[in-house]
Chains A and B, each alone.
Chain A
Amino acid sequence: MEHDSPPQREWTWNEMLEAFCALGGAAQNVALGNGEFGCGLSVVDPREPVLLRVSRNLLFRVDDIEFTAGSIGIRESADVPDTERRFFERYQTAFSWGAGGQAKATSFIAALEGLPPETRELLIAEFRLGHLLQGDFATRIWTHFLQTREVPWRGGAVIAPLLELANHSADGLQYERGMHLQVQGYVRQDIALRYGAEDAYSVFCRFGVLEPRPAAFSLSGRVQLEDKEIVIGRNTEKSVKRGKHRVPKTGIDGNTLTLSYLLLGHRQVPRLARGIFGTLLGEAGVTNPDEVFDYILRSNALKFIKLLKTLEPHEGEMVSMLRAMARHQLESMNHCIGNRPLGLASVPLE
């Protein structure tokens, strides 16, 4: 197990901001925080808006990042100029990986490592958490650290300095993507970023935190019908707009129908999940999509209940966290009532 190196804060926050802005970034009204969500970013003057802009040259592709002997850097082969490369490494050491990021990721992976074997096996087999539970311990820490901080950018994933320090919340600031990546707006204290299309399960896997979410998406898997196979992914970034709703991207290859993800329940729009599925599968020529949807719902519910049962005789912080996550996921999944086919106006529940 790697141990954290002490924070290297020889670079002050203001010095770092100066370098950040000199490289094209902008940070207005932003301070290093320590608020209700833990370490992160906070506002200097809540009466004024916050602006945090990360220029393209400061968006570092996750694939270009490497860890060596406990430190983080950019691969030599990466097409990143020296100044940006030096900035990234100094910034990471002083404010991110070297300033609690490594410790937090290590603690999460170690807590998962401490789970009973049968729970670990279940999480690997049914919940696809092998990347957090199997393989070299240090690599898993690195992977988790990057996963908690990465942000989708033009078909890939990048680490955006400063922005990656912010925590997430349901009503946080939304990413604005254009020439640069930025957030802006008014905040009261902590600067938090808004979750994307995440459910309780993915928030746990990605960020290592527990958070009830309005939606629940299906675990990835396959459903074999008489004449078709349905392959369900969990890539909520891959979606298309249909009326006023985002729906999964579908693809047909021979007898295989793929869905980039599948909504199973939503606290605010409980009719939507079955409606989306019914519409998409109807268009793909699947008869009786309601029954297929029920089948997927059952399969998901039984997996999370199985997790609860497996955790039952055990105690500990990670056990409690997993138990609550499973409960939150089941709760959101339970918000699947009625059926509103896509394209129809919103009908309130009786």
Chain B
Amino acid sequence: MDEFRNLGGIAENVVLLPSLSGQGLFPKDPAKPLLVHVPDNLLFRLRDIGFEGDRIRIGEHAETGSRERSFFERYQSSFSWGDAGHAQSAELIDLFDSLAPDLRALLVAEFGMSLFMEGDRRERIRKHFLRSRSVRWDDESLLVPLLDLMGGGSNGMRVDTGPQGGVQIAGEAQGELHLSYGFHDCLGVFNKYGFATARPHAFSLPMKIKVGAFNLTITRNIMHNTNRAGFVLPVMTSEAGEVFVSHLMVGNANSPRASRGIFYGLMREAGAAGAMDAFDQVLHFNRAKFLQLLEALELLRGEMVVRLRAMAHLHLEALAQCVGTREF
């Protein structure tokens, strides 16, 4: 912590303690506000990070100062990758590797889980570690000291910009500190962290569908969005009869009219007819995929099967939260 502070970091009213996931950050005094500020020089871009054997390093090409580089490597070795990070990631990858081949193929093809299951095991462990501990900030994925020890949580803290740049979390908290899941839905959280948790909303799986005269392509890039009337909307582009939306919400317990309303609004802008049928077909496609997953899991046993089943149940719950429509 001394070196962290010497390098411009601020850590007020936080302490590192053993937690369920190894070590986590806790408020020293839950009655008082806490602050963790990480300056720009301690924000490490994933693209600058590499591994040498079992050690995590900043690549030579990176424009990172030598003190920061040294701090990163010592910190990672003592508290993150070298502490429980590597073991936890390896355990998760091994759970995926234990799944039946048919199920693995389904998860890769339909649910975007190739990162867990395809390629060299060591690489997958490393990539999962980085993915699960990184923060998306200004179109970059960053590994942020201290914040990388905070797993995700439903009532997690939001990462904000600091007064002089950098990132920070601030506020009051009881118990272990977690970061907000952001826009991630249940499948998104699962693909980032490898566990199931309830989320109020669901985004569509990637798909293509005909809407009126247009071919609509839906992706799952939830970071690519715009804001309208307080709602996060996908970015829509169109070109020669092809319409692309960066993501599409297909259920939201907090705003059950929003999903259909957003889609109708987008299709109106695109000049596409038949939005009602199309949205129903998107819903049908998504629900059918998760029901298909449940069917594939039916006769199987094991910890990862239980996690996947819980994820499918929770995602289906969010998918059910689509009632009526509203104007956007």
> Which residues does A use to contact B, with CB under 8 Å?
270, 288, 290-291, 294-295, 297-298, 301-302, 305, 308-309, 312, 320, 323-324, 327, 330-331, 334-339, 349-350
Known: A291-B323, A312-B306, A336-B280. A350 touches B291 (CB 8 A): no
**Residues of B310-328 contacting chain A, CB below 8 A:** 310, 313, 316-317, 320-325
Is B28 part of the contact surface with A, judged by Cβ < 8 Å? no
A residues near B295, Cβ cutoff 8 Å? 327
Q: Is the CB of A334 within 8 A of B291?
A: yes
Q: Is the CB of A350 within 8 A of B323?
A: no
The residue that A298 contacts in the complex, of B291, B298, B322, with Cβ under 8 A, is: B322
The residue that A312 contacts in the complex, of B277, B280, B313, B325, with Cβ under 8 A, is: B313
Q: Is the CB of B288 within 8 A of A334?
A: yes
Is B309 part of the contact surface with A, judged by Cβ < 8 Å? yes
Is B46 part of the contact surface with A, judged by Cβ < 8 Å? no
> Which residues does B use to contact A, with CB under 8 Å?
210, 256-257, 274, 276-277, 280-281, 283-284, 287-288, 291, 294-295, 298, 306, 309-310, 313, 316-317, 320-325
A residues near B310, Cβ cutoff 8 Å? 309, 312
Q: Distance in Å from the Cβ of A313 to the closest Cβ of chain B?
A: 8
| Residue with the highest number of chain B CB atoms closer than 10 Å, among A295, A302, A334, A339 | A334
Q: Is the CB of B316 within 8 A of A301?
A: yes
Q: Is the CB of B256 within 8 A of A330?
A: no
Q: Which residue of chain B lies nearest to A299 when distances are taken between CB atoms in the complex? A: B320
Q: Distance in Å from the Cβ of B252 to the closest Cβ of chain A?
A: 12
Q: Which residue of chain A lies nearest to B301 when distances are taken between CB atoms in the complex? A: A315
Query: Main SS of chain B's interface residues?
Result: helix
Identify 20 new A-B residue pairs, CB closer than 8 A, beyond the known A291-B323, A301-B320.
Answer: A290-B324, A291-B257, A294-B324, A295-B323, A295-B324, A298-B320, A298-B323, A309-B310, A312-B309, A320-B298, A327-B295, A331-B291, A334-B283, A334-B287, A334-B288, A338-B277, A338-B280, A349-B277, A350-B274, A350-B277
B residues near A297, Cβ cutoff 8 Å? 320
Query: Main SS of chain A's interface residues?
Result: helix
Q: Which residue of chain A lies nearest to B290 when distances are taken between CB atoms in the complex? A: A330
A residues near B323, Cβ cutoff 8 Å? 291, 294-295, 298
CA distance A273 to B238 in the complex (A): 33
Q: Distance in Å from the Cβ of A167 to the closest Cβ of chain B?
A: 24
The residue that B324 contacts in the complex, of A291, A337, A338, with Cβ under 8 A, is: A291
Q: When A and B form their complex, which 10 residue pairs have the shortest distance between CB atoms, in order from nearest? A: A291-B324, A301-B320, A294-B323, A337-B280, A338-B277, A334-B287, A298-B320, A309-B313, A295-B323, A305-B317
Q: Is the CB of A334 within 8 A of B284?
A: yes
Q: Is the CB of B276 within 8 A of A339?
A: yes
Q: Is the CB of B281 within 8 A of A331?
A: no
CA distance A330 to B315 in the complex (A): 14
Q: Is the CB of A327 within 8 A of B294?
A: yes
Q: Which residue of chain A lies nearest to B295 when distances are taken between CB atoms in the complex? A: A327
A residues near B280, Cβ cutoff 8 Å? 336-338
The residue that B294 contacts in the complex, of A308, A336, A349, with Cβ under 8 A, is: A308
CA distance A222 to B255 in the complex (A): 23
CA distance A290 to B260 in the complex (A): 12
CA distance A331 to B288 in the complex (A): 7
